[in-house]
Amino acid sequence: MLNDLQRRKMAHLFTLLDVDDDGTIDRMDYTASADRLVTAFGFAPGSPECRLVRDRYDTLWEAVTLPMDSDGDERVDVSEYSTGMERFVTTADEGYLTHIAPVANAFYDLMDVDGDGRITRTEYVRMMASAFRLPEEAGSAAFDRLDLDGNGSLSRDELHIANEQFFRSDDENVRGNWVFGPIAV
């Protein structure tokens, strides 16, 4: 069972994913998020990069989010989302690697615009603002919490560790709690 922190994290992410702010997540929310992300990084709709991100989101929708829909309306509310994330990701041993990591990898490929294998503050903040509607200051604060060595960039491995902590950890103090910006108390 999710603890209070985990429920708050899932509610926070749910709000960021609910692009049209209608209190539910549906396939359109994922498509809009994917399109904003690729556009923010200079890729055209229909480009291979756009298709990759959309495909990963479609897989996430079909394999994880849609099965959370307990009433069959093809929309997921925050309660369904939290329960589903617990079932598919938080408590499932391979849940993060199976369901979240492929989407995260597509994001990292887009963010790393110079191809150096590192995500800079600018790249991270742009991704958070475009895909998740996170204000720039919140994205920047998140980056500061994640950049433990202070070198001004994040590796793919550092981001995966932080992401998995966000989805799976019940520890209030792990840095991964900041992946999607500050969590409301």
Secondary structure (DSSP) of 44-56: PTTSHHHHHHHHH
pLDDT mean across residues, the chain? 91
Q: What does the pLDDT read at residue 142?
A: 95
List own/partner pairs for 159-166 with CB under 8 A and 24 or more apart. Answer: 159/104, 159/108, 159/119, 160/101, 160/104, 163/96, 163/100, 163/101, 163/104, 164/96, 164/100, 166/9, 166/13
Q: What does the pLDDT read at residue 135?
A: 94
Q: What does the pLDDT read at residue 165?
A: 94
In the predicted structure, residue 92 carries a pLDDT above the cut 80: no
More confident residue, 72 or 90: 72
Q: What does the pLDDT read at residue 1?
A: 84
Residue 155, beta-bridge partner list:
118
Query: Residue 88: phi, psi to the nearest 5?
Result: -90, -30
pLDDT category, 185, cuts 50, 70, 90? low
Q: What does the pLDDT read at residue 17?
A: 93
In the predicted structure, residue 101 carries a pLDDT above the cut 70: yes
The SS3 assignment for 6 reads helix
Q: What is the pLDDT of residues 126-160, one digit of tens each?
A: 999 988 899 999 999 999 999 988 899 999 889 99
In the predicted structure, residue 162 carries a pLDDT above the cut 70: yes
Contact 126, 40 (CB under 8 A): yes
In the predicted structure, residue 107 carries a pLDDT above the cut 70: yes
Could you tell me the maximum CA-CA distance found in the chain, to the nearest angstrom?
Answer: 47
Contact 131, 36 (CB under 8 A): yes
Cα pseudo-dihedral 118, 41, 178, 75, rounded to 10: -140
Q: What is the rounded average pLDDT of the residues 61-70?
A: 91
Q: What does the pLDDT read at residue 23?
A: 97
pLDDT category, 175, cuts 50, 70, 90? very high
Pick one of 1.10.3720.10, 3.40.50.2300, 3.90.1150.10, 1.10.238.10 as the CATH number of 4-178: 1.10.238.10
